[in-house]
Amino acid sequence: MKKEPFDKIMGAVKSLNEGEAFILHAPFNPLPLHKILNRRGFTYEAEKVKKKHWKVIYTMKAGAEK
């Protein structure tokens, strides 16, 4: 059974500690994911690398709860 990318991403960020980062490479700028992870205590930096390649770095904020 193939896992959805969202489930894999949420599983990966769940294990992060304060100040740790998760780097996501995606074919588009995942705006809805930015909002979800922001509510869970993450900041992000998004960079368009190529036409269909975005690099997003999500970092857990200081004092954020898991």
**Residue that the structure tokens 């294990």 belong to:** 15
Total domains in the fold of the chain = 1
pLDDT digits (tens, 9 = 90+) for 15-57: 899 989 999 999 999 999 999 999 999 999 999 999 999 999 9
Per-residue pLDDT band for 63 (boundaries 50, 70, 90) equals: confident
Answer whether residue 38 is part of any domain: yes
32-38, long-range: CB < 8 A, 24+ apart: 33/6, 33/9, 37/13
Hey, what amino acid is at 56? V
Residue 49 corresponds to which tokens in the numbers above? 């690398």
Answer whether residue 49 is part of any domain: yes
Answer whether residue 66 is part of any domain: no
Answer whether residue 50 is part of any domain: yes
Q: Containing domain of residue 25, as a range? A: 5-60
Residue 51 corresponds to which tokens in the numbers above? 């036409």
